[in-house]
Structure 1
Amino acid sequence: MSSGRWPKRVAIAGGTCVALGLGVVGASSVLKGNEPAIATCASSTTVRVAAPAAIATTVDDLTRSAEAGSCIDYQVSTVSSYDQDQQLTSGAPGPDVWISDSSLWTQDVSTALGSSAPSPGPTIATSPVVVAVPHSLKTQRWATGTPTWSALLAMDVPLTVLNPQASTPTIMALADANTQIRTDNDRTTYFLAMLRLTRSALPRAELMTHAAEGSRTARAFVASEQEIVAYNSDHETAPLSAVAPASGAAQLTYQVLYPHRSTPLPDKARDLLEKTLTSSDAKSAFCQAGFRVPDSNPPAGSPVAADVVLSKAPSDRIRTSTLTSWNDLGRDDRMLVAVDASGSMGDPVDANGTSRMSLFQGVARLALAALPQTGQMGALAFSTALPGGYKWFSDGVRPLPVVKGQLLKAVGDAMSYVQQHGDTPLYDATWAAYDYMTKSYDPKYVNAVVVLTDGKNDNPDGTLDLSTLLGRLKAAYNKDKPVKIVTISLSRETDPDALKSISAATGGLFYQVDKPEQITGVFIDAFLHRGTPLPAG
């Protein structure tokens, strides 16, 4: 792949091609029939080629033409890059040749396999990733210009996606949006959009059907330029238009790779494949199929600008984080929030006299309004002024499940606990929350505890010190039934080392809030990563 400074532009000159709507086939299907590869050969070398559906048909057509007289039989199958990534990283034998559609997958495989990673071959085609806009929606305000990802993910944009495990354009777009988070508002928008998109993702066929409908049912969706060109060739009277985000378009990069095998691919088979897929005939065929190739114009009829700005490819860390967030948010949550109700939580923290408890109440209302009705969320307040040191925000007996309206009312009453001016039984309350969640673990949900406090443990009559708490947490943690603790420090008066160690004992995260306006963004980030922490680095 070529390299260059970011942002960069696709500069393509010379050559022409006509966009054709080529059909694609179902996942994991072999494109060739069972006919003999080369009838004149006593025996032939079979080469198994795995390629994403979008390019597999063209690769199959090209290798068919190249086989004559070579005694090589290229068997091309369609396999999504996600599925191929999972197969290779699991240690299972891979195909002889893998055509990946993004460096996100090849980086993941290389990291997992090290010296046994696939060896690289040539890049044969590319395709920018944009937002496809149905004809009936093209006059909408958000469908013109170069909006930010935050604007495209807003509630008023009828956007949907394919599941990122089945669509590299989706995972690249969501990962790109993840990298563009700059403000708490951006984070909130991303969080709400991910919640919405995980529950509105559509199969490809249904998504394409909606694209041809009126504005009430049509949906914008993430797609590659190649997908748009193929669709438009069959819908000339109502074509899709395209919107590239202000930060630039992600790009699919189709690269030939050779997975490590005990019996290497013969040089003759490798050389013929690379010669075939990089030939002038191949470039013409890929361009006709809607792809971009070196030394040629973009595919004819594309609504994407020839010099579209490309975004910097997200790191493997961001890809992993995005997939984890998608998978976690796609599952309903079961979260218990333990909130400090000691007297200092009522102290003003800004010029408007807003207290930390008031900030928590605002965040809790946001979360309860956004989360699906099928999830479970409970809370407990902890203070030495409360009997036993803590109180469930529910019926006084159990924290989960709680009716949303009941929990909203309890959150609204939380200031009354603060006004009793107690101290902070942090360790006892943390253990009470964690003990409950581990004993009532439900595998249908992402189970987590979130602890918010503005002070150190201050509980002379408590039963736990830090060492005893950590020992209990480590003993109770079960990787097969994971319940992670996220700790959030609301002031500089806490013991951050203690909070970090509490989270680390369960593989959870620690956050420091230094300004009142940060709390919403921190809580949302904690929710996004409540199931699995961000990878190191």
Structure 2
Amino acid sequence: MGRHSIAAPVKMPGRRFILSIVAAVAVIGLVGSGVFLWVGGYLNPLFAAAEAGCTDPERLDIVADTSIAPALADIAKAYDADSENCVDTKVTAQDSADTAAVLASGASEADAWVPESSVWLDRMNATAASLGQPAPEVDVRLSIASTPVVFAAAATKATELATEPVSWGRVLGGTLPTILPDPEASAASLAGLLALRGHSSPDDPRQFAGAMIELGKTIPASTGAAFGALSATEQPAVVVTTEAQVAAYNLDDPAEPLVAAYPADGTVLLDYPWVQLRPDATPDQGSADRREAATATKAELLDAFEAAVRDATTTLASVGFRAPDGTGELDLDGVGAAPPAATAALDGPTQLEILRAWGVLTLRSRMLAVIDVSGSMEEPAENGLRRIDIFQQAAIGAMQKFSGEVELGVWVFSTARNGDLDYEDLAPIAPLGDAAHMQGIAGIIQSLPARLGGATGLYDTTLAAVQRVRETYDPEKVNSVLLITDGKNEDENGIDLDTLLAELAKIDDPTKPVPVIMIGFGPDTDLAAMQRIAQATKGAAYSASRPEDLSTVLVDALSQRSCRPNCG
């Protein structure tokens, strides 16, 4: 397959903050053994050196992000041929996420690195800290190129998309179908989220959190897979990517070319810094011959190659890169000739903060929804509808917020609902991606008015729900109980609040946390009791009265996973 060929659009686990150390070790092993992924040049460096009359070349090892590595390999080939010195420059193509993980582990022997964004340096240092390693010593120099973040669209659907300007505002509002490659592996996606947050309301943090939840419903396996999905969508959609990636994709002559749509409300630039990995060119590891080769001569050759890269503006522009400051003209299919207005996405700490929030919001959930069907749910709410009608409306909208990978089960509860039990198991916890299961839950929601009756058996039900979720606990997911009620505990034959809290403390297992998220409808809810239950389980308690409130508190409940039980 070509370097930009489309991967099969299958679901895979997202890359998490610390990439698999096993994978990192495998990469290290390849580098250590002298086996490299060649992007250009010769299979054996001695072949190139021999042609130049050089039998013992000085070797320069450059690792570069896959998006820019082919261009750097072409520049390296010309540099080696024109250099007056005996030099062999090898460019290894590697995703920046992988390189950041390898460098954080202290195991790389490359001489220089060109990541797709400076944010990977922050990721590298954060990963090193998490591994108990010191931050790698590097010499970060100015960028050699840049590319703006854009929306990629299928060429055949571009006209339909152009009927309304594309913008971050439309992504926030949910009116522009958007595919976001995993920001944990794509600096373009992470910078896109930075731009998105910049256009969200500072007075309503739920707006940005809600947009991330929506974008996280379907995470493609790669940017290539996201591009492949564009032609298959029923309505026109866009992929958050870069101008250079659009240009490179089209250079491979795909069946469905792409066009870059530039956000009407502005965008951000990705920089490509030159990072010298051994500022003193004297490694403290490796074989004796490598240590001997790490001389001032190597440092000079690296500097000379860096200068050659900076001078090769025509080569970089030919594959879609603009100057480091974002200027420069392009003459490539699918992208604009003139540069768009863009600001540098260099706020590394903010991007890492967004990345942590993304990791929290996109954790796959395993949830047991426990719904109050006591007789008081027949009573009218503020808008004249019955409380159960309000819940039905909100529940249907809330279901649409979850991806098919979310697992959901449903209980209903009221006193003596199921013999001596206050609760009834109507649907097991199973993936919403199962159409039959999804249809079954929708049917349960529609049947709720016919199930009303009895009093509110809150405490017995809460304890049983926590026990059920823990019995079937999945450590790969966020396991929780979502309990919706319009009242307070009315079961005189059941346990009281203090007993419930004592039992919850007794069965608490830090390795299997099951937070209880409690949502109270109407004026009769016992919010104080709900808050004590939420505190005991490191969950959250909310009060809601209108249909739209349920969607709001669900966003709150999801976006506050990382701060419980002390969310502000």
TM-score per shorter chain, which class?
A: 0.7 to 0.9
Counterparts of 1:503 and 1:240, CA distance in 2: 49
Equivalent residue, structure 2, for 1:126: 146
- Distance across 2 between alignment mates of 1:53 and 1:246: 28
> What secondary structure sits across from 1:223 in the alignment?
strand
Matched, 1:30 2:38: yes
**What's the counterpart of residue 216 of structure 2?**
194
- Cα–Cα, structure 1 residues 62 and 363, in superposed 2: closer, same or farther, change >3 Å? same
**1:149·1:245 contact (CA, 8 Å) conserved in 2?**
no
Q: Does 1:317 align with 2:353?
A: yes
Contact 1:97 1:259 in 2 (8 A): yes
1:264-283 paired onto structure 2 within 5 Å: 268-270=297-299, 272-279=301-308, 280-283=310-313
Contact 1:161/1:222 (CA < 8 Å) preserved in 2?
Answer: yes
Query: For 1:144 and 1:170, how far apart are their aligned partners in 2?
Result: 23
Q: 2: CA distance between counterparts of 1:373 and 1:315?
A: 27
Contact residue 336 and residue 399 of structure 1 kept, 8 A? yes
2:156 to 123, 136, 139: 136
RMSD between superposed Cα atoms in Å: 4.7
1:116 aligns to 2:145 (yes or no): no
SS at match of 2:508: helix
CA 1:245–1:343 in structure 2 vs 1: closer, same or farther (change >3 Å)? farther
Match of 1:377? 408
Offset, 1:471: 2.3
| 1:209–1:377 Cα change, 3 Å | closer
Q: Secondary structure at the match of 2:409?
A: strand
Q: CA deviation at 1:366?
A: 2.9
- The range that moved more, 489-498 or 112-121, is 489-498
User: Does 2:502 correspond to 1:437?
Assistant: no
How much does 1:384 deviate?
Answer: 4.6
Q: TM-score, normalised by structure 2?
A: 0.70
- Tell me the SS of whatever aligns to 1:54: coil
Supply the AA of the counterpart residue of 2:261: V
Between 1:526-535 and 1:56-65, the stretch displaced more is 526-535
C-alpha contact 2:168 2:195 (8 A) present in aligned 1: no
Residue 3 of structure 1 is matched in structure 2 by none
1:377 is matched by which residue type in structure 2? L
Q: Does 1:51 align with 2:64?
A: yes
Match runs of 1:293-312 below 5 Å: 293-294=323-324, 296-301=327-332, 302-303=335-336, 306-310=339-343
In structure 2, the residue corresponding to 1:422 is in which secondary structure? coil
3-state SS of the aligned residue for 2:125? helix
- How many angstroms does 1:225 deviate by? 0.9
- Count how many residue pairs are aligned between Structure 1 and Structure 2: 495
Task: Decide which of 201, 207, 230 is 2:248's aligned counterpart.
Answer: 230
Identical residues among aligned pairs (%): 22
| Contact 1:434–1:449 under 8 Å retained in 2 | yes
Change (3 A) 1:135 1:93: closer
1:285 aligns to 2:315 (yes or no): yes
Residues in 2 aligned to 1:407 and 1:72: alpha-carbon distance in whole angstroms: 67
Q: 1:130 to 1:430 in 2, by over 3 A?
A: same
SS at match of 1:465: helix
Task: Answer whether contact 2:100 2:123 (CA < 8 A) is retained.
Answer: yes
Q: Can you give the 5+ residue segments of structure 1 that lack an aligned partner in the other structure?
A: 1-21
The CA distance in 2 between the partners of 1:259 and 1:143, in whole Å, is 48
> Conserved in 2, the CA contact under 8 Å of 1:248 and 1:308?
yes
Question: Does residue 1:169 correspond to 2:188, yes or no?
Answer: yes
Measure the CA separation in 2 of the matches of 1:266 and 1:278. Answer: 19
Within-5 A mapping of 1:86-101 = 86-89=101-104, 92-93=107-108, 95-101=110-116
Aligned partner of 1:518 among 514, 530, 549: 549
User: Equivalences for 1:353-432 in 2 at 5 Å?
Assistant: 353-354=384-385, 357-368=388-399, 376-384=407-415, 386=417, 388=420, 390-394=422-426, 403-415=437-449, 419-422=453-456, 424-425=458-459, 428-432=460-464
Amino acid at match of 1:276: F
How far apart are 1:336 and its partner, in Å? 0.7
Q: Contact 2:456/2:490 (CA < 8 Å) preserved in 1? A: no
Partner of 1:448: 480
Give the CA deviation at 1:218: 8.1
SS at match of 2:151: strand
Higher relative contact order (Cα pairs below 8 Å, separated by 6+ residues): 1
Q: Judge conservation of contact 1:124–1:278 (CA < 8 Å) in 2.
A: no
Query: Any conservation in 2 of the 1:30–1:75 contact (CA below 8 Å)?
Result: yes
Contact (CA 8 Å) 1:179, 1:318: kept in 2 or not?
A: no
Q: Which residue of 1 aligns with 2:261?
A: 243
> Per the alignment, do residues 54 and 501 of structure 1 end up closer, same or farther by CA in structure 2, a change over 3 Å counting?
same
CA–CA distance in structure 2, aligned partners of residues 534 and 86 of structure 1:
31
* Deviation (angstroms), 1:394: 0.9
Letter matched to residue 331 of structure 2: A
Q: Which amino acid aligns with 2:527?
A: T
1:324 deviates by 5.1
Runs of 5+ in structure 2 lacking a partner?
8-26, 28-35, 286-290
